[in-house]
Structure formats: structure tokens, C-alpha cells
């Protein structure tokens, strides 16, 4: 699977210079898509139409066109089912950490006032709902990118600052929680977050290693140190425990369960379930139902 380096691989011209802020329209190619992306800078994804799923070390994000998103630099997996009629379109604003630091310095007094009454966490990803202002903002960027020619540095700075100031006014807690958090090789906490956030997603060991910004061999070694077993074995048993709960306690159909525990096909899920449990999903569910009925009959 190819690795896409962003923003380098999607700029209109290879000669386009990236000096702090880059505003770039993006339209996804037709057909289903799954790829690995390496964000070399922070980004704001202003979705115009369509949907996609992004897997980060910290969480799985399902992006809709009624939201927009701040993403910190790092690795992610992107999945899009583009067989639908709606084409995925967005405008991306790339910016480096220095741009964010300059904004914080310029508006230090205002930010300190906002912080005084808020509890601020540190998040490498945040989402905002679109409102009338942000829809108009996206429209203004669309017009700018359609004019032809390069957008001046002054205009890019002005537009990004306009959005940041608006969000600082309307959603200060969410905006101020956004921080670019560098991934640290050897950080077991990062590995735990990546594994457990993607437990129910169809993500391979190789893709989990990519999210942790490490080689497969290093990932497996660190995984064994943290969990005491191999990643494939741990994921298999955790997913089957969850499947048993969904089939038994919640009585969901096997055809409704497989995608909820990280499988892309019913047959591969059934094979794994039988390997671990010794029964097919349907037989297990029937057995659990019989046990439950017997307990009800036995009650005084």
C-alpha cells in the first residue's frame, strides 16, 4: 500500500512552496479507496461533500459533510467508499506549529481570558459542527481557489486567522484543546491507544505499526512487552470476546456483528469465531438462548 505524503502529494504544482500555510482544494478519485497518509504538517479539513473514515493512533474518526476537522501532524489511515453518487470534496488548510504558536502569541490576552474559565485537555484531533459563518467561510475559500493564480501569503494568513478567531469566540474549549502532539517511538502508552482505539476496525498489524510510526518488527516487540502475547493473538481473542457479548447478551444476528468487531466479511469472521469458541456464531447464539431459557424455567 502506497504512503501519501501530505501536503506534498496533492498540491497543484510541484513548485508550490509551503511556507507556513497552504490552502488546497481536494477531490477524491472515483472508486473505493484505502490508503496510508503521512501528515507532515497540521491540517484543517473543510469537507464540502461526501464521507470518509480516518484511523489515528488515538481514535477512529468518521468524517461527515456537516463537520470540519483539525488534524495534527502524524500518521493516519484513510478509507473512503466512493461508489456512492456524492463525490468527496474538501478544502484543506495546512499549517505548521509555528503558525499556531504565532496565533497564540498574538492573541495571548484574549486566550488567557478564555482559559481562565475552562478546563483544557490536549487533543491531536478536534471536530466542529458547521454553522452559517463557517459555511460562508468555506464558500469564500472556494471562490479564492477558483480565481487562478497563487493565493498571497497575506491572504492565507488573514483567512486562517479569521477562522481561528471565530472558533476562539464560539468554541474556545475545543479550539484551545487542539495541540500538535509528536509521536514518540518507544512510548507504550501510544501503542495502547492505537491498538484499543482500532480494536473494532479492519486494521492490519502492518497498519497499526504505521499508526505508531514504527516498523512492524518493533511494533510486535513493543506489543509483547505491553500485553504479553502477539498482536494477532490478542486482537483475535479480544474481538471474539466482544462478538460473544453481542451475540449472547445483545442477541444481534451474526450478519450484523462481523463488521462491528473488525472483520470485512461474514465468512472470515465465522472462521475466526469457530477457531476460538469451537462453535459457529449461529450455534453459539442458539446455545446461549437455550441456557437463558433454562434459567428462566428454573426460577421459583
CATH 1.10.10 fits 229-300, yes or no: yes
Q: Assign 163 to helix, strand or coil.
A: helix
Instruction: Give one word for 104, left, alpha or beta, with left for phi > 0 and alpha for psi -120 to 50.
Output: alpha
The pLDDT-based confidence of 250 (bands split at 50, 70, 90) is confident
Backbone angles phi, psi at 139, to 5 degrees: -65, -40
The confidence band for 297, taking pLDDT boundaries of 50, 70 and 90, is confident
* pTM metric for this prediction: 0.78
Options 2.60.120.810, 2.60.40.10, 2.40.37.10, 3.90.1150.10; CATH for 3-177 is: 2.60.120.810
End-to-end Cα distance, the chain:
60
H/E segment holding residue 284? helix 281-298
Say which range, 10-14, 18-22, 170-174, 175-179, has the weakest mean pLDDT: 10-14
Q: Across residues 243-260, what is the average pLDDT? A: 93
Which pLDDT score, from 0 to 100, does residue 204 have? 93
Task: Grade residue 11 by pLDDT with cuts at 50, 70 and 90.
Answer: confident
Mean pLDDT of 237-257: 93
Q: What is the pLDDT of residue 16?
A: 47
Q: Helices 132-146 and 153-170: crossing angle, nearest 10°?
A: 170
Domain ranges, ordered by start, for the chain:
3-177, 229-300
Q: What is the reported pLDDT for 31?
A: 64
Q: Is the pLDDT of residue 276 over 80?
A: yes
Peptide bond into 74 cis (omega under 30): no
State the pLDDT confidence band at 181, using cuts at 50, 70 and 90. Answer: low
Tens digits of residue pLDDT in 118-162: 999 888 899 999 999 999 999 999 999 999 888 999 999 999 999
How far, in Å, CA of 190 to CA of 174, rounded?
22
pLDDT of res. 14: 45
Amino acid at each position: 500500500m502506497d504512503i501519501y505524503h501530505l501536503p506534498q502529494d496533492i498540491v497543484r504544482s510541484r513548485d508550490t512552496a509551503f511556507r507556513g500555510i497552504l490552502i488546497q482544494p481536494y477531490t477524491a478519485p472515483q472508486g473505493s479507496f484505502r490508503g496510508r497518509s503521512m501528515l507532515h504538517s497540521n491540517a484543517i479539513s473543510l469537507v464540502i461533500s461526501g464521507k470518509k473514515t480516518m484511523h489515528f493512533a488515538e481514535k477512529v474518526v468518521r468524517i461527515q459533510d456537516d463537520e470540519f476537522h483539525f488534524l495534527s501532524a502524524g500518521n493516519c489511515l484513510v478509507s473512503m467508499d466512493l461508489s456512492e453518487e456524492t463525490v468527496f470534496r474538501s478544502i484543506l488548510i495546512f499549517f505548521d506549529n509555528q503558525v499556531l504558536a504565532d496565533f497564540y502569541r498574538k492573541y495571548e490576552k484574549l486566550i488567557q481570558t478564555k482559559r481562565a474559565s475552562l478546563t483544557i485537555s490536549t487533543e491531536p484531533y478536534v471536530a466542529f459542527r458547521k454553522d452559517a459563518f463557517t459555511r460562508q467561510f468555506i464558500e469564500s475559500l472556494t471562490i479564492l481557489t477558483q480565481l487562478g493564480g497563487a493565493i498571497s501569503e497575506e491572504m492565507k494568513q488573514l483567512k486562517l486567522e479569521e477562522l481561528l478567531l471565530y472558533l476562539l469566540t464560539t468554541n474556545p474549549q475545543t479550539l484551545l484543546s487542539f495541540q500538535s502532539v509528536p509521536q514518540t517511538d518507544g512510548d507504550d502508552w501510544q501503542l495502547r491507544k492505537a491498538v484499543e482505539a482500532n480494536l473494532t476496525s479492519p486494521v492490519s498489524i502492518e497498519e497499526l505499526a504505521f499508526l505508531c510510526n514504527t516498523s512492524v518488527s518493533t511494533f510486535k516487540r513493543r506489543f509483547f512487552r505491553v500485553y504479553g502475547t502477539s498482536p494477532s493473538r490478542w486482537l483475535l481473542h479480544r474481538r471474539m470476546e466482544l462478538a460473544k457479548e453481542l451475540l449472547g447478551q445483545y442477541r444481534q444476528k451474526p450478519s450484523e456483528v462481523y463488521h462491528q468487531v473488525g472483520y470485512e466479511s461474514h465468512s472470515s469472521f465465522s472462521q475466526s469465531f469457530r477457531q476460538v469458541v469451537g462453535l459457529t456464531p449461529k450455534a453459539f447464539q442458539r446455545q446461549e438462548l437455550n441456557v437463558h431459557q433454562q434459567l428462566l424455567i428454573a426460577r421459583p
